[in-house]
Amino acid sequence: MAEATHGLGGLKYDPTKRTRAPEWNVFGALVLIVLIFEILNRMQGGSFLFNMRDNVDAIFNQQRLDIMILQVAIIGIIALGVTQVIIIGGIDLSSGSVVGATAMVTMSFAQTAMVNGNPNPKAIFGDWAMDLPVIVPIVIGLACGLFAGLINGLLVAYTKIPPFIATLGVMVSARGVARWWSNGQPVSFPTETYGTLANGDLLGGMTFGLLSWQGQNPAVIFVLLAILFHVIMTYTLYGKRSYAIGSNEAAARMSGINTDRHKVLVYAIAGLLAAVAAVLLTSKNLTAQAGMGVMYELDAIAMAVIGGVSLAGGRGSILGTVLGAAIFSVIISGFTSIKLDAYYQEMVKGAIIVGAVVLDQWRQRKRTRG
Amino acid sequence: MSKIILETRGLTKHYGGVHALDDANFILHEGEHVAVVGDNGAGKSTFVRQVTAVEQRTSGEVIFDGQPVHFSGPLEARQSGIETVFQTLALADDLDVPSNLFLGRELFKFKLGPFSWLDRKTMRERTMEALATTAVKIPNVDNPIRNMSGGQRQCVSIARTAAFASKLVIMDEPTAALGVQETAQVENIIRGLKERGIPMILISHNLRQVFDLVDRIVVFRRGRIVASLRKDETDGNDIVSYITGVKGGSDATYA
């Protein structure tokens, strides 16, 4: 035992025995990966992070940063929900399909009547659904996601089927809804206000010397939601219950936590966050397609897992997932920057996900060995 | 005799055709410490599970603190003042010590449904106080308890029970997995409860411990209570005779 013990009654307290937050390891990995890509880029005469052109007055390679941050923002919002689901010991495979279905429904209420003087060629509903206030599609969209999340939660909590199966079912069904909604046709031409949701600037174009693109809303919303849920998971009963359930569900129930109700709540919030992503995605692209969000659920799970969220439940954090999302994005941009073929990118992406899980298992074993 | 805190009348639990607990009549007085002993499968844990409503009894009555009770679950039992250390530790491994101590009864800065704001500082301070009174040594209460030894974890579990004990404490083999030193600590906690006048039911296989700690010993055998003896009118051999069925009724009724 270290010398620095001092007692409180019979209680020994040793500050050196405090375990380091695992987020530091993830952060270290992020720095390391950025460094590797910087070196690889330098070897090719370029730079990963920094501006190399003399005619541009900037420190950083803004184009790349912009792409990276945008890439991470929308799926990152989904990952925030997925993280909470994994922490309670569940899994959500439906989020990508929920994005697809929500996108179709939402866009149908966001359409504008006249496109370049002609009636909207992609109109889903009659005139009554045209040029509605922007709040209408937002509320309908969020309701869609909430509904899907509630189905997930109710299935998991009350039928006791494994979350993997429950959300797999919802994943397939929700994709079906997305295709059925307009017979597979895209839904396009939203109102101008709807288009500004993702393409506008909440911060009024503030760039902090980092971002240059117009329309940083998805990134801003991602960061705000991340902060919100970080606070909720760290400082409120909701977070405490989530970790307790993921850690030892029987103990949580024994302690008086209504675990079923809490699970429904967590899945519902995950659905809601998928819907936020759907609204931003359709707004960004000014169209909705039945195939939107395919594989997003896996990317979101990957972000969480890379960020140190344990698939066994009980461990991980929102901060970890944000860092995991950053790593995810850096890797994809990094491969592009060293001109690695897209096929290789996917292969390596898969390997990284498996690697992250292996690492988690290994850490777990090490811990139980003491 | 002092007031009766817990009484069961004809408490019975059947699992299908298995009579795990049959017609258990049990009385616990205020301030009294009673040990429940018996062979594996004698019905000790089943008895505790009926009293704490982890399971719902088949028939019989439970009278707690003068009222006939029918708890819907362990939470309600706990809210009525029955604190239990279960055989399987009811701890969340990934949470730190204060979170485990206050699991299910968190303190709040302000209430807002599931998003109520936790009062972490006060919970931590109270945890330190609770651990200080139990003389339990925990390297750092802010670490997840996963990293702690079995003994430390059991001590957290027992400290939780002792800290919140009000009317009745039930411990189901609290020292089964502990080393000598840790066992001594737990026994000290139990003596502390006795001093505070909090009644306790202790399930234990350790007769040395039982004779050391309690006032009365109740023996279970094959789902029935076969003896209830004051500590000073019996000895180890006597108890063993009851446990093994040498004394206290024939096995013929169960053949």
- Per-residue model confidence as pLDDT tens digits over A112-166: 988 888 888 888 888 888 899 999 999 999 999 999 999 999 999 999 999 999 9
Among A84, A231, A240, pick the best mutation site for testing chain B contact (most B Cβ within 10 A).
A240
Residue-averaged pLDDT of chain A:
87
Say if residue B114 is exposed, middle or buried (CB neighbours under 10 Å; 0-12, 13-18, 19+).
Answer: middle
Per-residue pLDDT at A274: 98
- Which of A90-99, A252-261, B72-81, B108-117 is predicted most confidently? A90-99
DSSP letters for A166-234: HHHHHHHHHHHHHHHHTTT--EE-B-HHHHHHHHS-TTTT--TTT--SS--HHHHHHHHHHHHHHHHHH
Contact at CB, B118 and A240, closer than 8 angstroms: yes
Confidence grade of residue B89 (pLDDT, cut at 50, 70, 90): low
- Report the gap between the CA of B117 and the closest CA in chain A (Å): 5
Contact at CB, B147 and A19, closer than 8 angstroms: yes
Confidence grade of residue A27 (pLDDT, cut at 50, 70, 90): very high
Per-residue pLDDT at A14: 53
Query: What is the mean pLDDT of the segment spanning B113-121?
Result: 93
Query: What is the mean pLDDT of the segment spanning A165-180?
Result: 96
Contact at CB, B92 and A254, closer than 8 angstroms: no
Across the interface, which of A15, A235, A367 has its CB nearest the CB of B118? A235
Distances (CA, A) of B127 to A5, A91, A115, B8: 18, 33, 66, 34
Count Cβ–Cβ pairs < 8 Å, chain A vs chain B.
117
Question: How far is it, in rounded angstroms, from Cα A366 to Cα A356?
Answer: 15
Question: How far is it, in rounded angstroms, from Cα B125 to Cα B75?
Answer: 24
Contact at CB, A10 and B132, closer than 8 angstroms: yes
Chain B nearest-CA residue for A1: B139
Question: Does position A222 have pLDDT exceeding 90, yes or no?
Answer: yes
Phi, psi (degrees; rounded to nearest 5) at B61 = -120, 145
Question: Does position B8 have pLDDT exceeding 60, yes or no?
Answer: yes
Query: What is the mean pLDDT of the segment spanning A261-268?
Result: 98
Per-residue pLDDT at A370: 42
Contact at CB, B92 and A248, closer than 8 angstroms: yes
Domains of chain A: 23-34+58-369 (1.10.3470)
Which residues of chain A make contact with B147, given a CB cutoff of 8 A? Answer: 19, 367, 370
Question: How far is it, in rounded angstroms, from Cα A229 to Cα B48?
Answer: 40
Contact at CB, B90 and A10, closer than 8 angstroms: no
Distances (CA, A) of B19 to A70, A303, A306, B44, B249: 65, 52, 51, 13, 17
> Residue B21 is part of which domain span?
4-254
- pLDDT per residue over B194-244, tens digit each? 998 999 999 998 899 999 999 999 999 988 899 899 988 888 888 888 888
Confidence grade of residue A212 (pLDDT, cut at 50, 70, 90): low
Question: How far is it, in rounded angstroms, from Cα B60 to Cα B68?
Answer: 11
Per-residue pLDDT at A3: 35
C-beta of residue B170 within 8 angstroms of C-beta of residue B48: yes
Question: How far is it, in rounded angstroms, from Cα B245 to Cα B227?
Answer: 11
The CATH number of the domain where B125 resides is what? 3.40.50.300
Which residues of chain B make contact with A246, given a CB cutoff of 8 A? Answer: 94
Confidence grade of residue B125 (pLDDT, cut at 50, 70, 90): very high
Q: 3-state DSSP call for residue B1?
A: coil
Q: Which position has the higher pLDDT, B249 or A251?
A: A251
Q: Which position has the higher pLDDT, B213 or B2?
A: B213
Give me the number of domains chain B comprises: 1
